[in-house]
Structure 1
Amino acid sequence: MIETAGPDPRTRHFGVFYGLDEPTGDGDVALVVGNCQAESLRIMLDGAGLRTVRMPAVHELVTGDLPHLDRWLARTTLLISQPIRDDYHGLPLGTAQLAGRIATGGRTVRVPVIRFAGLYPTHAIVRPPSDPGLAPPIVGYHDLRVLAEAAGLTTRTELDPTTVRAIADHSLTQLRTREAAHGTVVISDLFTAPAFTLMRTLNHPGNLVFSALAARVRAALGLPEHPVDPGRPLLDSVHAPREAAVLETWGLDGDERPYWVVDGKIIETGAVREAHLAWYSRHPDAVQAGLLRHADAFRILGLA
């Protein structure tokens, strides 16, 4: 008897998406599409009239996934999507393209990509032009002070409340601009009173944010309230350092935390700095891309 291999781990993990099973419950089929935030939002939306489908993040989708995606789009009556440009990664994954393939009479709600720097004012995301999927080692976030050091600029290490507030205002303005430009559900008002319960990193919201966003999506769709307790912290694998100036600025309790927590392990910021400086020496285009993309933040931080 010849034994055949079963589905690979990725297929098993997204078993419903790949047709290994059906979504539980009854009601409308809802597809939540976007980056790593999409799955957490899906968890908070599931149930009470919504059958959701766990699927890969949009940047992980490949050509071979399109038949599975189209099969679900044909059944989807509620598409919840972050703004995604047409032909993303050379595939028909743009929000408008997806909306055009859902079931007749289906509805689309856009949600914002959530980034807020008011709690982590020196952190940024940078995509090297030579390989936009490339990220520095240990943690995929760039500290603009370290990036400035790699660029040979004058570096300033101390933060103060004036600078923290200025970065927060700039970041909040960007989020509000994205919400307005794409007609998304609004979530930016939550960040007028920053707290670490809201964001674990620059772009990893806490459960409170996902719960509020899910409630607002339901309201936008005219669905009944449905509070969800996932029983665990969502997007919990990485926690960024907490700086004294940030605690002082927002009047937050707790102590300064000069280290990262990655998968439960403490990693000192000095180790991350050394690894990133070595990485920048191998990828100078990442440095130049960061200087251009985050010029406003460099100016606010006094890095020149």
Structure 2
Amino acid sequence: MNGAPNVLAAVAPEDASVVQRREHYGEFFGLSPLPDRYGVVVGNCQAESLRIVLDAPDRRFVRVPPVHEMTAEEAGRLQVLVAGAAVVVTQPIRADYRGLPLGTAQLSSATSGAVLTVPSVRFSGLQPFQAAIRVPGVEEDPPIVAYHDVRTLAAAAGVPARSALRPDDVRDIAGDSLDELRTREQHIDVPVSDLYAAPTADHARTVNHPGNAIWMPLGARLIDALGLAGEVTDPGRPLLASVRSPLAPEVIEAWSLPEEPRAHWVVEGRAVDDAEVRDAHRRWYAAHPAFVDAALTRLAPLLSRWQHR
């Protein structure tokens, strides 16, 4: 065959995914040259959405892997990248996270550039039934979606819980999550909690995946705080939208949303019935009883909202 060889076709599938990942983070891995002046955004999966709205042809922000995916080699590469960065935006990360020098203070000390912190964002006002948690000893996620429904968890433990809430309860749960967010923002440079004053369906795809209604104004705040030129970059597509949760009638009523209630999930563009998800999760909980016990202890405040009459 004429033409350039297909590199991915010449390697094993597991190696192909490594090649694809390195190409996706090409500047980070040195496959393409770094800009003369650049910034980085460090954190979990939310960091990439923030990077996208900050990045522009004359205001470059280099794509880096989320910290929970980084190897020791990649953590070392991040230290080098941060050392040369003009701007570092980071979520709060504890020192020696996963045994690697990825803590916020560790990264801040590695650069002479400007450093600003932003919160890791969780908001329960659109998914009052939902939690994204892990417990020690259970590393795998439940099937279909990696989110837990407190009603399904309660049923697995034989604990009574309502199947639906009143709009006032929805607003109370939203208030709880915003109180927690404000507490975490006390040592944060650029807050986000006030952006939830009037929630829309675009404010949260899931409990920990904010939509463009958060990323655009938060990006604008950072540009202003850093004294950078230009406007925030509109990605032209929904961010963090690979999974969308159901939209309950009481949520619609609580926030006077124009949308119709949605009883299904949307996973990678495919509608998935909530009953299918809950049935799969019930089976998973039956196989992981220790997770159920630990999760309900962690989620006791949320569960109490579902048990209140």
User: Normalization by structure 1: what TM-score?
Assistant: 0.92
SS of the residue 1:8 aligns to:
helix
Cα deviation, residue 23, structure 1: 4.2
Partner of 1:68: 77
Q: Does 1:230 align with 2:239?
A: no
Distance in 1 between residues matched to 2:209 and 2:167, nearest whole Å: 23
Partner of 2:130: 123
Match of 2:149 among 134, 140, 143: 143
Partner of 2:40: 31
Partner of 1:175: 181
Letter of the 2:160 counterpart: T
Partner of 2:257: 252
Distance in 2 between residues matched to 1:49 and 1:289, nearest whole Å: 48
Q: For 1:84-107, what per-residue CA distance to the aligned partner results, in whole angstroms no more than 9, with x for missing partners? A: 0001111111111111111x3x12
Letter of the 2:114 counterpart: R
Contact 1:34 1:58 (8 Å CA) reproduced: yes
Distance in 2 between residues matched to 1:10 and 1:170, nearest whole Å: 38
Distance in 1 between residues matched to 2:238 and 2:216, nearest whole Å: 12
Unaligned runs of 5+ in 1: none
Distance in 2 between residues matched to 1:249 and 1:207, nearest whole Å: 21
Contact 1:198 1:207 (8 Å CA) reproduced: yes
Q: For 1:260-284, what per-residue CA distance to the aligned partner results, in whole angstroms no more than 9, with x for missing partners? A: 0000111111111111111112222
Distance in 2 between residues matched to 1:114 and 1:290, nearest whole Å: 20
SS of the residue 2:38 aligns to:
strand
Identity %: 46
Distance in 1 between residues matched to 2:289 and 2:95, nearest whole Å: 29
Partner of 2:30: 19
169-178 or 67-76: bigger deviation: 67-76
Contact 1:48 1:224 (8 Å CA) reproduced: no
Q: CA, structure 1 residues 67+126, in 2 after alignment: closer, same or farther (shift >3 Å)?
A: closer
User: Normalization by structure 2: what TM-score?
Assistant: 0.91
Distance in 1 between residues matched to 2:57 and 2:144, nearest whole Å: 39
RMSD over equivalenced CA pairs, Å: 1.9
Distance in 1 between residues matched to 2:27 and 2:223, nearest whole Å: 23
Contact 1:126 1:286 (8 Å CA) reproduced: no
Distance in 1 between residues matched to 2:61 and 2:278, nearest whole Å: 40
Distance in 2 between residues matched to 1:152 and 1:300, nearest whole Å: 17
Letter of the 2:90 counterpart: S
Cα deviation, residue 70, structure 1: 2.3
Distance in 2 between residues matched to 1:269 and 1:303, nearest whole Å: 23
Cα deviation, residue 49, structure 1: 4.9
Contact 1:79 1:109 (8 Å CA) reproduced: yes
Distance in 2 between residues matched to 1:259 and 1:22, nearest whole Å: 44
Q: Does 1:302 align with 2:298?
A: no
SS of the residue 2:277 aligns to:
helix
Contact 2:223 2:232 (8 Å CA) reproduced: no
Q: For 1:21-76, what per-residue CA distance to the aligned partner results, in whole angstroms no more than 9, with x for missing partners? A: 1245x5x3211001111001001111275321111111000112133212212211
Q: CA, structure 1 residues 96+116, in 2 after alignment: closer, same or farther (shift >3 Å)?
A: same
Q: Does 1:218 align with 2:229?
A: no
Distance in 2 between residues matched to 1:198 and 1:141, nearest whole Å: 17
Letter of the 1:202 counterpart: V
Match of 1:53 among 47, 62, 76: 62
